Amino acid sequence: MRKMNRAKILDMFRRKGPMAVADLAHEAKLTFPAVSRIVKELVESGILQVKGVGASSGGRKPTLYELNPQAVFAVGVDVSVDEIRVGLMDLEARWVGQERIKVPERGEPQAFVDNIAAGLDRLVQKTGVNGSRILGMGVSVPGPVDSESGTVFHPPNLPGWGEVPLKSRLEEELRLAVKVEKDANVAALGEKWFGAGQDADHILYVFVGEGIGGGLILGGLLYRGAGFGAGEIGHATLDLDGPRCNCGNHGCLEVLASGLALVRRVREEIRRGAESSFFPDPDRILFGDVLLALKEGDPLVKRLAEEASRLLGIGLASVIHAFLPQKVVIGGKLPQAFPDMVEISALKAKERLNPVFRDRVKIEAANLGEDSTITGAAALVLEDLFTFQWR
């Protein structure tokens, strides 16, 4: 109970800024002595500090307290296909420092562990942050993760990785509490805590990059389902006889509306004689080229991206009917290059939604951009301070 109240009080400071004990007690519906005791402990541990005095409501002026943003820090790590990012975040979600590391040539897990450790060392030296003030490390990885044990299972984008106990390897190396989570879940958490999802408790986060994935926040907490694959909306079937997906099924949302689907559609159209000054050779089109063509406003790619956006909207409608989130947050490289994707898919989804649902769900663009994963990785650590979960 004490832990739960402590988290509740800290979260009020995080959201509302400086407060006096009486106001905290009133808002948190706790007794004055209980709040007073918790605040005293938090001041002693350095997490809270005295801000000054507030306005008097008759008697003595009350002492105002606030979070000490530099009391403790969280490390966020984003492991992606081409780079590792390591960042140090303070209690007010400001980055005090970040390092970008090119993914090691030999892609074995140990090389990643060594690089993360070296990156954190450099950060600590550069920022002068005392190592004892680091609360823990959250790691985002592109692939299936058992977040209980922190084991990563054969991520398709990281060849050379089998079943890797990443959490225990990092904890041994760093002597720091580590949490490991799949990238889409982490990005969902990042948007919930510090991005487009801050005002919602039920969120569906969807990313559209080369593939399509997602993460679910239900009742303010990450939903992991029975195993660790919840939120994989990219493999919802949209077309029974559609093209074959990497997963072996046909007509998945991912094979119709993702970045790689768009690459395939551009190739098909050019082979059929469509004109595009961007792609002289249909056999050599990469996802990056398509993103560039979108940014430049190439009409063929734009038309096909609009088509993909409508299909995404149809897929979203099914998922919204199942979960009725307050907010759907759409992120990833494709909507970043083609922002219309959000509006087109939102219109299409709403067209298909039960009218009772339609006005209750907001569909919006993510707002942390490529930072949603590293931010969410740090939030995995901060979450323990500001929320209480029965585990």
Residue placing its CB nearer to Zn ion in the complex, 235 or 333: 235
What single-letter DSSP state applies at residue 156?
T
**Which residues between 336 and 375 bind Zn ion (CB under 5 A)?**
none
Q: Which residues pair with 101 in a beta bridge?
A: 84
Cβ count near 374 (within 10 Å): 26
Cβ count near 104 (within 10 Å): 13
Binding region for Zn ion (CB under 5 A) out of 3-11, 247-255, 319-327, 347-355: 247-255
Residue placing its CB nearer to Zn ion in the complex, 245 or 317: 245
**Among candidate residues 247, 219, 202, 254, the one with its CA nearest the CA of residue 233:** 254
Q: In the complex, what is the shortest distance from the CB of residue 253 to Zn ion, in angstroms, rounded to a whole number?
A: 8
Q: In the complex, what is the shortest distance from the CB of residue 251 to Zn ion, in angstroms, rounded to a whole number?
A: 8
Q: Which residues pair with 143 in a beta bridge?
A: none
Q: In the complex, what is the shortest distance from the CB of residue 156 to Zn ion, in angstroms, rounded to a whole number?
A: 12
**Which residues between 176 and 235 bind Zn ion (CB under 5 A)?**
235
Residue placing its CB nearer to Zn ion in the complex, 35 or 245: 245
Token pair, residue 56, equals: 């008097």
Contact (Cβ atoms closer than 8 angstroms) between residue 185 and residue 231: yes
CA separation for the pair 230, 277 (Å, rounded):
41
Residue placing its CB nearer to Zn ion in the complex, 254 or 269: 254
Q: By 3-state DSSP, what share of the chain in percent is helix, strand and coil, each rounded to 5?
A: 45, 20, 35
252 interacts with Zn ion by CB under 5 A: yes
CA separation for the pair 347, 344 (Å, rounded):
5
Binding region for Zn ion (CB under 5 A) out of 37-45, 239-247, 289-297, 323-331: 239-247
Q: In the complex, what is the shortest distance from the CB of residue 245 to Zn ion, in angstroms, rounded to a whole number?
A: 3
Residue placing its CB nearer to Zn ion in the complex, 245 or 330: 245
Q: In the complex, what is the shortest distance from the CB of residue 250 to Zn ion, in angstroms, rounded to a whole number?
A: 8
Q: In the complex, what is the shortest distance from the CB of residue 174 to Zn ion, in angstroms, rounded to a whole number?
A: 36
Between strands 83-89 and 73-79, the pairing is: antiparallel
Task: Give the one residue of 230, 245, 353, 382 binding Zn ion; rule: CB under 5 A.
Answer: 245
Residue placing its CB nearer to Zn ion in the complex, 235 or 350: 235
What single-letter DSSP state applies at residue 134?
E
Q: In the complex, what is the shortest distance from the CB of residue 260 to Zn ion, in angstroms, rounded to a whole number?
A: 11
311 interacts with Zn ion by CB under 5 A: no
Between strands 203-208 and 327-331, the pairing is: parallel
CA separation for the pair 58, 284 (Å, rounded):
76
Residue placing its CB nearer to Zn ion in the complex, 95 or 153: 153
Task: Give the one residue of 4, 53, 118, 247 binding Zn ion; rule: CB under 5 A.
Answer: 247
- How many residues bind to Zn ion according to rule CB under 5 A? 5
CA separation for the pair 345, 44 (Å, rounded):
51
* Interacting residues toward Zn ion by CB under 5 A: 235, 245, 247, 249, 252
